[in-house]
Amino acid sequence: MELNILSVEGDDRKEWDKLRAYLKKRGCAVYQAAAARDIYRILRNEPIHIVLSDFKLKDSIGFLKRVKTIRPQVEVIFLSGRVPLSGAIDAMKAGAYDFYEFPLNHRLLLAVVEKAHEKQSLFVEKVELERKVRERFNFGNIVGRSKPMQHVIEIVGSVAPKNVNILLAGETGTGKEMIANAIHYNSPRSSKPFIKVNCAAFNEGVLESELFGHEKGSFTGAISKRLGRFELANGGTIFLDEVGDVPPATQIKLLRVLQEKEFERVGGNETIKVDVRVIAATNRELTKLIDSGRFREDLYYRLNVVRIELPPLRERKEDVPLLVSYFISKLGTEKGYGIKGITKEAMQTLLAYKWPGNVRELENALESSMALAEKDVIEGRYLPAFLLLGQPQNGDHYHIPIDLPLEEIEREVIRHTLTRAGGNKSLASRLLGIGLRTLQRKAKEL
């Protein structure tokens, strides 16, 4: 492991000479400086990992802060003779990694230096990961030149920096989660948690515990205290997907969090304060749920401070070629597919399809085609079978060739039924006349 150390020594030259010799013998690159201008020049120009500094420097705490300003990831370890305990405590509070007194145990000090370097490596990895996330969810990565999508991008850019709740409305697969990510990672809360909850994935009791946590013994199986998603998202953003599926009893508690910014865990009495921005998403018309008494009107207005409508893919067909190019590049990078493009014939097939599953369905179709392609371009024969079955005559019927394998027919019937049911597997299983477990098993197998 490459380890570059800057030695900022003090009065005991003999002790520092021994230390530098030991570190060099162990394979460390040791830089040496005494004057402030040389110290800061080396920090700016050289890949320094660790600073070993004498604590008798004038204004050592100020020196530490200056080092952290120039290069935040660098760890500083102070070495000195007898120093009051209060001085060491002040140094640690200011951000020093550790504090050692002379005479030194070189072996133990090197172990501390290596641990500090490991911590620094984790910091660098975290920074790099955050950079990649920010790049991925940059506004420029929201693909679309159609008027509907340009309008969406304009609104997202406007509201992202503002601390307002947002309701994303649109059909399944239109990219609501991607937009929620873009809003969070382009907001002042970007360094804080972004917590996602699919409200349709839990029954009433479990959802309440997921959102607000529970105390030990609050119900059967609660063997320990658990923090809820709102608590985990404190200071950041929570994304409530399929918010129309939140049960009425839980809606009351959710409304209180939005209004009062506080709640109690399930089975608890302690009031917990949180500062969380809420981005909700739905593929259902919440006003109809309000009319039928299944969704609270006051909660709707708390969530719907800013509403962003995501258009279905069939209403922005001019974006299909852009999305195809984007997904070919993205999937090629992620999965190593050597696909460079798509034939005109295959593109015409994609443009002719109505895409009831929207952008998500298009991405899945392209990934399937790229996996099957034997050349470096996607040809029509590599496209999924459903694209070659013909367009649906209406919302309930599809053409299926009589020579299509039974497994492929079953796959397409299940896929289109799930699309018709808006991704709701319980509803799809009822439409197909099979049990939910059977549908889940078949969907996994197919």
* pLDDT one-digit tens code per residue, 227-273: 999 999 999 999 999 999 999 999 999 999 999 999 999 999 999 99
The predicted model scores a pTM of 0.63
CA angle (249 as vertex; 243, 250 as ends), nearest 5: 45
Rounded Cα gap, residues 398 and 381, in angstroms:
20
Kindly report, residue by residue over 370-387, the tens digit of the pLDDT.
998 888 999 988 888 778
CATH architecture of 312-388: Orthogonal Bundle (1.10)
Tokens standing for 241?
């997907």
* Domain 143-311 homologous superfamily, CATH: P-loop containing nucleotide triphosphate hydrolases (3.40.50.300)
Alpha-carbon torsion (247, 250, 256, 257), positive or negative: negative
Residues carrying CATH 3.40.50.2300, the chain: 4-133
Cβ pair 181, 194 in contact under 8 A: yes
Checking if the pLDDT of 95 tops 70, the result is yes
pLDDT band for position 393 (50/70/90)? very low
In CATH terms, 4-133 corresponds, of 3.40.50.1820, 3.40.190.10, 3.40.50.2300, 1.20.140.10, to 3.40.50.2300
In CATH terms, 396-446 corresponds, of 3.10.20.30, 1.10.8.60, 1.10.10.60, 1.20.1250.20, to 1.10.10.60
pLDDT at 316: 94
* CA nearest to 324, candidates 277, 253, 271, 383: 383
Checking if the pLDDT of 225 tops 50, the result is yes
Cβ pair 229, 197 in contact under 8 A: yes
The residue ranges of DSSP E strands in 88-211, in sequence order, are: 98-101, 166-169, 194-198
Alpha-carbon torsion (200, 201, 206, 211), positive or negative: negative
Rounding to the nearest 10 degrees, give the CA dihedral for residues 436, 439, 445, 446. -160
Residues carrying CATH 3.40.50.300, the chain: 143-311
Residues carrying CATH 1.10.10.60, the chain: 396-446
* CA nearest to 123, candidates 75, 162, 188, 55: 75
More confident residue, 400 or 379: 379
